[in-house]
Amino acid sequence: MFFIKEIQSLFMPEVKIRPQELFDAERFFEIISHTNLEFMEFPIKTLEEERDFLQLNEAKRRANFEHNYSILYYGKLVGACGIRIDQHRPWIGEIGYFIDRDYQGRGIATEAVKQLEKIGFEKLDLQRIVILIDTRNRASERVAQKCGYQKECVMRKIHRVGEDYYDCFLYAKTR
Ligand SMILES: CC(C)(COP(=O)(O)OP(=O)(O)OC[C@H]1O[C@@H](n2cnc3c(N)ncnc32)[C@H](O)[C@@H]1OP(=O)(O)O)[C@@H](O)C(=O)NCCC(=O)NCCS
């Protein structure tokens, strides 16, 4: 069983990432409306805000500020991932991701992070990729571990959700 899972995670052609498009708005809004995002600082509350977010993507990409991707599973949009570039140290990128609650637990985030990392190291020329994970978020921590990221430390109160501040694990990989 363990062996089959390991093989699956090495090769999942059914998972693809592509740049986010404006027409993804409705589906993204559907996903975020019913997915467990309590460990993320998530500013989008309406479909209009989702459209605004997607509209800004191209400018953010051109400015090398943020590179956001849609995650497709057998062609269906099931999640998002992205890399935000550290504007003071542009060789460092921070990865984030979420998957539709109905599609979690199939290895999709793990495969998407692997593909995104390839873009980060090979196309964006990053030297270091980090993932900040709320210390309560076991599923996300598992994704980082399965992708070969190393836990470096705990960053105290680095993360704000609503009015409250939380600690995060810092996971990182270098080229
Ligand atoms: C974190 C998230 C993206 C994972 O997506 P996913 O497609 O289900 O991830 P994968 O299937 O690739 O891997 C999930 C792993 O976490 C494990 N897991 C899930 N829930 C868990 C829990 N409560 N405790 C421990 N492990 C857990 C799964 O068993 C799996 O590990 P395994 O393959 O060793 O069995 C998804 O849960 C999500 O969207 N969460 C909400 C948004 C979020 O928290 N994003 C991360 C911000 S850093």
Environment class of 155 (CB within 10 Å of its CB; exposed 0-12, middle 13-18, buried 19+)? middle
Q: How far is the CA of 63 from the centre of ligand 1 (A)?
A: 31
| Nearest in space to 117 (alpha carbons), one of 82, 150, 146 | 82
- Give the residue extent of every domain in the chain: 2-174
Token pair in block for residue 68? 């956001």
Per-residue pLDDT 10s for the chain (175 aa) are 555 555 555 579 999 999 999 999 999 999 999 999 989 988 899 999 999 999 999 999 999 999 999 999 999 999 999 999 999 999 999 999 999 999 999 999 999 999 999 999 999 999 999 999 999 999 999 999 999 999 999 999 999 988 999 999 999 999 9
Q: Which DSSP helix (H) or strand (E) runs through 32? A: helix 25-33
Write out pLDDT tens, residues 100-139.
999 999 999 999 999 999 999 999 999 999 999 999 999 9
What is the pTM assigned to this prediction? Answer: 0.94
Q: Reduce the DSSP state of residue 108 to 3 states and report it.
A: helix
Q: How far is the CA of 174 from the centre of ligand 1 (A)?
A: 23
Q: Which amino acid is at 4?
A: I
Q: Is the minimum distance from the CB of 149 to ligand 1 under 6 angstroms?
A: no
CATH 3.40.630.30 fits 2-174, yes or no: yes
| Nearest in space to 81 (alpha carbons), one of 127, 72, 89, 62 | 72
What is the number of the ligand 1 atom nearest to the C-alpha of 112?
A: 12
Q: How far is the CA of 140 from the centre of ligand 1 (A)?
A: 5
